[in-house]
Amino acid sequence: MKTMIAPSILSADFSKMGEEIKRMELAGADIIHCDVMDGIFVPNITFGIKMVADIRKITSLPLDVHLMIVQPEKYVERFADAGADYITIHVEATEKLNETLSLIRKKACKCGAVISPDTPVSALSGCLELCDMALLMSVYPGFGGQKFIEKSLDRMKELSALAKIENPDVLLEIDGGVNLDNISAIKQAGAQIIVAGNTVFSATDPKAVMQELRAK
């Protein structure tokens, strides 16, 4: 399948959010990645439900809402109502993982599970059959602009092998530190959706960068 590029608005200029998203659309983005952080699960705060709802008004691209929040089960229905197409939740952030994934699906929204760098890939076993997407963090969640963690390549290979057993249709996503130097190895490891932040938002020609990310 074609590699899908999901620009992360964490790297956008928030004072020009509408313009930034249109710029990514024109550059050929497949998905808009929205990082929601609560200052508790991760040491940073970004935005919430209203931002997702406002972004929904200005783009027809799928919104991939990545919840880096504790007890996401309390909020997933509201994010679905705000216009999210995908909602991904951290294994580490809830004691009701499968129940919450099912709740997201009941809202006619696609769901996914996320693991941070220190969480074993095996933690996703048993929930992949409920997932449309599985997201592997290749940096520690909380801040953009971090360096790619090299062990993530082996972890993505492990996740790819697990997915082939438990749910061959699940989309494999990677988030953090992706650039033109490591994209080829990342795709070879099995990643299908590439979350890209500074790599595309800081580019003079983001369209050319996205084309190169797909081509490598």
Is residue 13 annotated as part of the catalytic site, yes or no? Answer: no
The kind and range of the H/E element at 67 are strand 63-68
Return the exposure string of 25-56: e unless at least 16 CB atoms fall within 10 Å of the residue's CB, then b: eebbbbbbbbbbbbeebbeeebbbbebbbebb
- Distance of alpha carbon 99 from alpha carbon 156, whole angstroms: 25
Q: Classify 51 as helix, strand or coil.
A: helix
Given 13, 30, 35, 64, which residue is catalytic? 35
For residue 154, indicate whether it is catalytic: no
Residue 157's CB: how many other CB atoms inside 10 A?
Answer: 15
Query: Which of 172, 84, 174, 82 is CA-nearest to residue 131?
Result: 172
Q: Which one is catalytic: 30, 64, 132, 175?
A: 175
Written as one letter, the residue type at 137 is: M
Catalytic residues, which ones?
35, 175
